[in-house]
Structure 1
Amino acid sequence: MASHSVNKTQLEPTLMAQAHSDMPIHQRGPSHKATLRSAIAHARRKISTKHGWVGDYDYGYLCMPALPFMRQKQRSPPFYGLHDDLPLVVGMVTGLQHALTMLTGLITPPIIFANSLSLDEQTSTYMISASLISCGILSLVQMSRIHLFGRFYLGTGLLTIVGTSFATLSTATAVFNAMYADGTCPSTTNTDGSTTRGPCPDAYGKLLGTSLICSFFEIIISFFPARILRRIFPPLVTGTVILLVGASLVGESGIPNWGGGSNDCHNRPTTGIFQLCPTIFAPRPLPWASPEFIGLGFLSFVTIIFVEVFGSPFMKNISIIIGLAVGGIVAGATGYIEGSTIQSAPAITFLWVYRFKIGVYPPAILPMLAVYISLIMEAIGDTTASAEASRLAVEGPDFDSRIQGGVLSDGIGGFFSALFTVTPLSTFIENNGIIVITRCANRGAGRWCCVFLVLFGVFGKISGVFLAIPKSVLGGVTTFLFANIAASGLRVLAYTKFTRRERFILAAALSFGFGDLLAPGIFTHLFDGVDNPSRGLQGLFNSITIVLETPFLSAGIVASLLNVIVPREVADDDELTLDDKEAQTYAENQ
């Protein structure tokens, strides 16, 4: 129960209805109609009373900034658990905070995809809207707890919200590079030897089709016992993958955009439209890494730090979106923003306003299967963190069913997200921090978050505003965002007791991961010596090359394999202190 005082007469009908909804269907008795009537009566009372609207939540705690030289009152709001009676305003406010926290993470992948494939503004705007809408819809599925049969469920039943997975970005970059290299996508060679890529929306359609097929892999894996999944993917493996996902994105997108653009202008060609960043047609185009671009990105970065030092809990949770707003305002005032993207964006939009030709790119199948393995790792870790933040048990049959339901929902979400023209989704770990700070783990807040995400996507002008933000501002913000992902990977690795065995596995995995990061392209010519390979064999070679050239995929595969085959040493356990053994037990439970 929550630590705050709540009228039990008002609370009982809701608890009965929510507990009843979590109960397996075959166990529901004939009293479900009476329970439904009680829930309706409770909803009427909530709408018509002050307590139902505002409750006893401390809104000052959430909104008051930590100004210098001001004495801060030590206080915290009541904790709203999974089944507690949540006031409407609290649900709206915390739901909005969840949505704003996710916003930058949801708009970044479609912007990067569109940029990589040289897509036009209308298509890019639609991709942003589709990401927001689909994440809002499919988050409702992930937060559900629908009993299927036996011990199997769909969804975690927790405040777990899904967003476009960053794990797909690095893999998609390698896949798109392969498509341009083998002629699937058009490109032209300039007089100075540089290459200019043409628009290739079909490449995105092939990525969606391949993702749709590979989603069945995660759906099948979700029916494996949760203890086996946690055994195969311990914190040593998941932490390594998350660390390298973040580090890869910093180098592939964050820093290049901070300099002005991650497109062809990054190479400073002497001819063509990418002589200047982001293109020569921009309002104020400049060479890549010009001080003006660096300064705009740095302003956004410093704003994030300033908010973290002086901001209220609400502001700290949305510091990235505040940094984006400050950088965008300054960029607009100094002439770096072109209003055409906002003007051309539709006022109202929805899914399938723009459609992609769905196809399958065979060389991408193997890499996408590896991506779904990483999504399984994320689902396990994030569901554990959500349960912990919600003050629920992180072991036992109930918790195992939440792990199974979360992985299954992720797999089904990957299938439907492809139909929604969006790449695979994963549970966002950022939302767990909001649960801790706001002390609200109620799914009502999550449902409000879904409402806001869908509304942000439906109003197309919002997507146009995000698309108009200069790449340098976006880069300054996303560099921090991606580095934060890498830091999350380090936090997961910290749960591991680093015996000789664990150090060996981590070193072997990072040999591939860091090698790909610091010397990209080392595996590009791996199969150049094979004369006249068949089309199928060439596709296999391309698949292997994509996996080897993607840092988190190669490192994750090495870590997973070694974790299974390298024997555990009995001497390692004997060397542990009591505190170390407790830490190891906790890590194994994760």
Structure 2
Amino acid sequence: MQNISKFFYTLLTTRTFWHPARPFPYRACILSDAQTPRPRYKSDLIYGLEDRPHFTAAIFAALQHVLASFVGIITPTLIVGGVLGLESEVPYLVSMALFVSGLGTFVQARTFGPIGSGLLCLQGTSFSFISVILSAGFMVKARGGGTDEILSTIFGICFFAAFIEVVLSQFIGKLRKLITPVVTGTIITLMGLSLIKVAVTDMAGGFGSSDLGAASNMGLAALVLLTIVVLNRFSNPFLRLGSIVIGLTLGFVVAWWMGRVDMAALPQVPLISVPVPFKYGFSFDWVAFIPVAVIFLISPLEAAGDLTANSMISQQPVKGPLYIKRIKSGLLADGLNSAMAATFNSLPMVTFAQNNGVIQLTGVASRYVAYFIAGLLVLLGLFPMIGAVLQLMPKPVLGGATLIMFGTVAVAGIKILAEAGLHRRNVLIVAISLGMGLGVAAVPEVLRDLPKALHNIFESPITVGAFCAIVLNIFLPEEFLELEEDEFDPESSTLKVMQDPDVTK
């Protein structure tokens, strides 16, 4: 019985099973370790970038990518919809997030002229924009705006802000001279820290909950949190990749058993979601636009790191003209995909880092697998019932998972700062920027006497921190060698940190 169990475990977890040119070691699985030596293969790719896997291998790898990224794609929408009170639109918005992720993934892999990296890069909604989008939504809500006005403003400003990344994609080398690692690290750290309050509030029951902080709420959140932590400590890569999905599923089931999930409250939704460009209208607000634009300033640097890591894992060049062209084309696709996302009522898109780990796990780097990923995501996006069911997920269950997600965003920023070097100049920049950003969030009254327009702009800790970091970085200069655009170094400190596939976006 033990040998049979070993056979099926190896059958499902080995990479070589899915490659016809490398026979699966059936005999080694069934016999004991003492009876036969284990065959050893080189740790190279099974399918390279331009290889075409057979259907079984392609669909298996595609499912792994979808499972690894599914929660990351839908969670920003669930958070924004829940916090801003847009529950009636959440099923449709979740569908559009999946739908646009599929389209964006296809664009990145297929390439259209200068658009697309030609890599197996999965596109998904970004956590980086949550805090500034929430600020924009609250601003519209404060002046009496309804659901349509909130969403039309959010998607309007995201549409125009996306073209910042489109333009900067062609000047990534120059951008790195202004947005240095110390600036990027500070902003990313602020993003994560500013979102912790959202996660902890959800753990306690959610904004406006009558039982905020109840033991049952904290218990559910703790269950999800501990499940994710325990699964991440296993050596099995499948359990690690699926830890968040498993944790949320377990939390949902336990909440249902406790009577916290009312399936009778499932909203009536159509069978199919029809993508409608700018369904909620199109609005624009300069005050809300500026914080979103700040995030789009650093998005190219994050995406460049993920694309570099993907190139390395896919055994593609990370220097020279081909690499530079691939980075520029990938960032151009990122920006245009974000504009497309706003058009189809979804939050901005970024290149996900999670799929780099899946490539390492499966040994499949073929960009043709992205076509299957895109098809699966588009198919999922056509069914609003998925979003309707996910909307019933109790806030404490979601909060237990997002606490880890947002915490890892902050840790990513700290790692960038550590890699940049915390000498005296950088310490001053980080200390002042973090202090001002977090200070405004903690004591918003400090902005009381500012003009209304400036007050609305600087009430976001991201905007305040980014402004301080950029200004201080300019006026506290240090000597460094300027890189020409064609000398863009993929192993610079910023990009090396971004290559970590375990950091959640």
Q: Is the 1:230–1:380 Cα contact (8 Å) retained in structure 2?
A: no
Return the match for 2:476 from 563, 566, 573: 566
Given that 2:305 and 2:490 are in contact with CA atoms closer than 8 Å, whether structure 1 keeps it comes out as: no
Is the alpha carbon distance of 1:588 and 1:324 closer, same or farther for their aligned partners in structure 2, counting shifts above 3 Å? closer
Do structure 1's residue 587 and structure 2's residue 497 form an aligned pair?
A: no
Give the counterpart of 2:460 among 550, 559, 563.
550
The match for 1:521 is 444
- Counterpart of 2:140? 179
Summarize the Cα distance change of 1:501–1:339 in structure 2 as closer, same or farther, 3 Å threshold: same
Change (3 A) 1:404 1:354: closer
Residue 143 of structure 1 aligns to a residue whose secondary structure is helix
Mapped contact 2:158–2:338 kept (Cα < 8 A): yes
Of the three residues 208, 223, 229, the one matched with 2:170 is 223
Alignment of 1:102-117 (within 5 A): 102-117=69-84
RMSD: 3.1
Given residue 97 of structure 2, which amino acid in structure 1 is its aligned partner?
S
In the alignment, what sits opposite 1:405? Answer: 329
Kindly indicate whether the alpha-carbon contact (under 8 Å) linking 1:395 and 1:589 is maintained by their aligned counterparts in 2: no
Would you say 1:370 and 2:289 are equivalent positions? no
Q: Which residue of 2 aligns with 1:442?
A: 366
1:476 aligns with 2:400: yes
Structure-2 residue corresponding to 1:160? 121
Q: Which has the higher contact order (CA 8 A, sep 6+)?
A: 2
Is structure 2 residue 318 aligned with structure 1 residue 394?
yes
Gaps of 5+ in 2: 1-15, 30-37, 482-488, 497-505
- Verify: 1:256 aligned to 2:201, yes or no: yes
**Other-structure match for 1:132:** 98
- Verify the 8 A CA contact 2:302 2:495 in the aligned structure 1: no
- For 2:237 and 2:149, locate their aligned partners in 1 and report how far apart those are by CA, in whole Å: 43
Structure 2 vs 1, CA of residues 300 and 83 (structure 1 numbering), >3 Å: closer, same or farther? same
Relative to structure 1, the CA distance from residue 341 to residue 392 in structure 2 (aligned partners, 3 Å threshold; closer, same or farther) is farther
Give the direction of change, closer, same or farther, for the CA distance of 1:455–1:474 in structure 2 (3 Å limit). same
Does residue 55 (structure 1) correspond to residue 20 (structure 2)? The answer is yes
Using a 3 Å threshold, how does the CA distance of structure 1 residues 557 and 443 change in structure 2: closer, same or farther? farther
Tell me how far apart the structure 2 counterparts of residues 446 and 362 of structure 1 sit (CA, whole Å). 37
Q: Deviations over 1:364-423 (max 9, x none)?
A: 122222132132232222222222332333332222222211221122122211110112
- In 1, the alpha carbon distance for the partners of 2:494 and 2:225 equals 36
Counterpart among 49, 62, 66 of residue 82 in structure 1:
49
Offset from partner CA, 1:76-128 (integer Å, 9 cap, x none) = 7651332234343222222112111211122112222222332243x111111
Q: Residues 522 and 419 from structure 1, CA distance in 2 versus in 1: closer, same or farther, beyond 3 angstroms? A: same
Q: How does 1:83-482 map to 2 (within 5 A)?
A: 83-121=50-88, 123-147=89-113, 153-181=114-142, 183-185=143-145, 200-224=147-171, 226-251=172-197, 253-261=198-206, 263-265=207-209, 276=210, 287-310=211-234, 312-340=236-264, 342=266, 344-352=268-276, 355-482=279-406
What is the match of residue 282 of structure 1?
none
1:496-511 → structure 2 map (5 Å cutoff): 496-511=420-435
Unmatched 5+ residue regions in structure 1?
1-50, 65-72, 148-152, 186-198, 266-275, 277-286, 531-537, 573-582
**Cα distance per residue 1:346-367 (max 9 Å; x no partner):** 3332312992122112321222
CA distance in 1, matches of 2:460, 2:39: 47
Change (3 A) 1:340 1:346: farther
- Cα pair 1:99 1:450 within 8 Å, conserved: no
Paired residues in the alignment total 463
List structure 1 runs of 4+ shifted beyond 6 angstroms.
Answer: 57-61, 73-77
One-letter amino acid matched to 2:203? W
Larger Rg: 1
- Which letter maps to 1:551? P
Verify the 8 A CA contact 1:497 1:584 in the aligned structure 2: no
1:208-228 CA-to-partner distances (Å, cap 9, x unmatched) read: 11222222322222232x321
Contact 2:277–2:343 at 8 Å: present in 1 too? no
Q: CA deviation at 1:479?
A: 1.0
Deviations along 1:184-204, one digit per CA (max 9) or x if unpaired, are 42xxxxxxxxxxxxx533111
Residues 311/201 of structure 1: CA separation in 2 closer, same or farther (3 Å cut): farther
SS of residue matched to 1:215: helix
Partner Cα separation in structure 2 for residue 469 and residue 175 of structure 1: 25
Displacement after TM superposition at 1:54 (Å): 4.8
Query: Closer, same or farther in 2 for the Cα pair 1:473/1:132, shift >3 Å?
Result: same
Seen in structure 2, the aligned counterparts of structure 1 residues 461 and 589 have a Cα distance that, compared at 3 Å, is closer
Give yes or no for contact 1:301–1:477 (8 Å, CA) kept in 2. yes
Distance 1:373 1:459, change over 3 A: same
What is the one-letter code of the residue matched to 2:199? Answer: G
Give, in whole Å, the separation in 2 of the partners of 1:356 and 1:57. Answer: 53
For residues 180 and 292 of structure 1, the distance between their equivalents in structure 2, rounded to whole angstroms, comes to 31
Q: Deviations over 1:406-457 (max 9, x none)?
A: 2211221222111101122111222222223333322123322222211222
Length-normalised TM-score, structure 1: 0.72
Structure 2 CA distance for partners of 1:323 and 1:588, relative to 1, 3 Å: closer
SS of corresponding position for 2:82: helix
Structure 2 counterpart SS, 1:163: strand
Matches within 5 A, 1:25-64: 54-55=19-20
Q: Check conservation: 1:367, 1:546, Cα contact below 8 A.
A: no
Provide the C-alpha distance between the structure 2 equivalents of 1:145 and 1:176, rounded to a whole number of angstroms: 34
> Separation in 1 of the partners of 2:63 and 2:420?
35
Distance 1:561 1:292, change over 3 A: same
Q: How has the CA–CA distance of structure 1 residues 206 and 588 changed in structure 2, closer, same or farther, with 3 Å as cutoff?
A: closer
TM-score between both structures, scaled by the size of structure 2: 0.83
**Once the two structures are aligned, what percentage of the paired residues are identical?**
29
